[in-house]
Amino acid sequence: MKVYRFPQGGITFEDSTVPPKNAGVIAFLPVVSVIPLIQHTGGRASPIVGAGDHVREGMLIGRGQGPGSANIHASVPGTVLHTVSWETAEGMNNEALVIRLGGGFEKLGKEEKAFHWEDLKPFALQQLIAEYGVVEMEGSGQPLADILGPIYSRADDDLTTLVVRCVFDDPWLVADYVLCRERFKAVVEGSVIISRSVQIQHIVYAVSHRELDLGAMLLEESKNYDIPASLLPVSCRYPQKNRRELELSLRSYEKREALNLGSFLIMGPATLAAVHDAVKLKKPILDRYVAVGGSAVKTPRVMRVRIGTRLRDLFAECGGFVEEPQKIILGSPLSGRRAADPDEPVIKTSYAAAALLEPQTGGTVMRNCIVCGECRQVCPVALDPEALFKAAKAFPEDVPKTVADCHGCGCCDLVCPSRLPLSTVIQDAGRRK
């Protein structure tokens, strides 16, 4: 069996503080939900409800405004108490509707009615995806409608292959793994819906080579549809799931198999399951799978969590903390962002929440660079993180142009014995360039 991989750098690592991947549990419904009006790349959704209004489960409560903005729906029934705003750790402002749980559920515990979507035209499928607020849940939260529109408009001139990214190179992707296992039929049907919406003729399931039984399940299920599909075994070496590294593997596969794959539309399993729910079940994103763990957490778990659930409630449901965490990260500790407050809520793009003690963060003391060269060995884009870090520190307004090539995978941070924030400093310099 040929396993496809990117040619240089990267790391293989484990994390004992990650939740086990045997199954997910359904989290308790939050008594109070905090539902942000920005869960996407663009400006905030415009609220259409206010304090004192009663909302239903799945009801539209914020309407997307322009490119990059997506519709927001109530994840639970209840009463809007008020609006809150806060500043994230990165200095960005966000605003949210606070909802107190109350009233009957329209989706939870009810038999789900499946709608026949097969005869819908591509534009109608795209409209449903936009209406139900589906965004790229494994990435920045870009609205899917903004991604699909341009691809459809050039479908006659540009061959495109849908790549279903089931690549688990980071142990903190365990929630996506559990979702793939538990909802593989929804992932496959979601991929077919996407293919029909932009007239894609081929699907490639890119699956970590250690999970080939999962790949076989996806491929077998895809036989129920008329779009050809194939399996691409890829390396588990981080950052294999990144677009650049995955595309290198895809091009190698294309050349070896004498295929013409054209350009790539790459999507993860959570996004595709959400597409299935929006189009087949007429259901917005009400919940998502989240890996809750870290060295500060007593009982790490993969949980299926309602959007708007506060982090403090998730950690409490995992038994609380062994001691107060030094840092809380949304996403992987390698590439995620720091949570400003334990009252910050789960949003559409929250695949993990990690509460870390000092040994896992490396502490607050930075030592001098010892010129070991480890960072150069692991950089997948062949940069010199040591030199770029030193240049950004010494000459912040005149850094080398190559800082823009860093995609923030964090490999250099992980191997640096001096615990220098190499990737963070280089990324910041790249944004200024």
Is 367 a member of any domain? no
The per-residue pLDDT for range 50-75, each reduced to its tens digit, is 999 999 999 999 999 999 999 999 99
Same domain for 143 and 275: yes
> Of 248, 280, 312, which closes a domain?
280
| Single-letter amino acid code for the residue at 122 | P
- The domain of 395 spans 374-432
Highest mean pLDDT among 57-66, 89-98, 417-426: 57-66
> What value, to the nearest 5°, has the Cα angle with vertex 359 and ends 353 and 360?
30
Is 202 a member of any domain? yes
Per-residue pLDDT, 158: 81
Is 115 a member of any domain? no
Burial of 354 (0-12, 13-18, 19+ CB in 10 A): buried
Mean pLDDT across 1-8: 93
8 Å CB contact between 99 and 53: no
Distance CA 308, CA 314 (A): 11
Distance CA 288, CA 307 (A): 7
Per-residue pLDDT, 340: 81
8 Å CB contact between 57 and 108: yes
Mean pLDDT across 7-34: 93
Angle between helices 144-153 and 184-198 (to 10 degrees): 40
8 Å CB contact between 268 and 165: yes
| Single-letter amino acid code for the residue at 179 | L
Output the average pLDDT for the chain: 92
Could you tell me whether strands 337-338 and 327-330 are parallel, antiparallel, or unpaired per DSSP bridges?
antiparallel
Per-residue pLDDT, 427: 86
Radius of gyration of the chain (CA): 22
Place of tokens 């109070």: 32
Same domain for 386 and 259: no
Same domain for 260 and 133: yes
- Residue 148 falls in which region: left (phi positive, over 0), alpha (psi -120 to 50) or beta: alpha
Distance CA 275, CA 268 (A): 11
The number of distinct structural domains making up the chain is 2
> Of 280, 295, 313, which closes a domain?
280
The per-residue pLDDT for range 386-407, each reduced to its tens digit, is 999 998 888 877 778 888 889 8
Per-residue pLDDT, 363: 54
Is 98 a member of any domain? no
Is 188 a member of any domain? yes
**Both structure tokens of 269:** 């399993």
Per-residue pLDDT, 433: 61
Banded pLDDT at 112 (limits 50, 70, 90): confident
Per-residue pLDDT, 396: 74
For residue 432, give the H/E element and its range: helix 422-432
Place of tokens 């080939």: 212
Could you give the percent of the chain with pLDDT greater than 70? Answer: 97
Distance CA 417, CA 369 (A): 8
Which CATH number covers residue 234?
3.40.50.11540
A 10 A CB-CB count for 79 gives: 16
Q: For the whole model, what pTM was predicted?
A: 0.93
- Asked whether residue 111 carries a pLDDT value surpassing 90, the answer given is no
- Asked whether residue 217 carries a pLDDT value surpassing 60, the answer given is yes
8 Å CB contact between 250 and 25: no
For residue 17, give the H/E element and its range: none
The per-residue pLDDT for range 134-156, each reduced to its tens digit, is 999 998 899 999 999 998 877 66
Banded pLDDT at 24 (limits 50, 70, 90): confident
Same domain for 379 and 266: no
Is 410 a member of any domain? yes
Q: Is the bond preceding 325 in cis, omega lying within 30 degrees of 0?
A: no
Which of 168-182, 237-251, 355-369 has the lowest average pLDDT? 355-369
Distance CA 25, CA 185 (A): 19
Same domain for 236 and 132: yes
Could you give the percent of the chain with pLDDT greater than 90? Answer: 77
Q: What is the dihedral of CA 295, 308, 100, 106, to 10 degrees?
A: -120
Is 153 a member of any domain? yes
Mean pLDDT across 409-426: 89
> Of 249, 280, 311, which closes a domain?
280
Is 78 a member of any domain? no
Same domain for 276 and 390: no
The per-residue pLDDT for range 222-265, each reduced to its tens digit, is 999 999 999 999 999 999 999 999 999 999 999 999 999 999 99
Per-residue pLDDT, 108: 82
Place of tokens 């770029």: 388
- Asked whether residue 364 carries a pLDDT value surpassing 60, the answer given is no
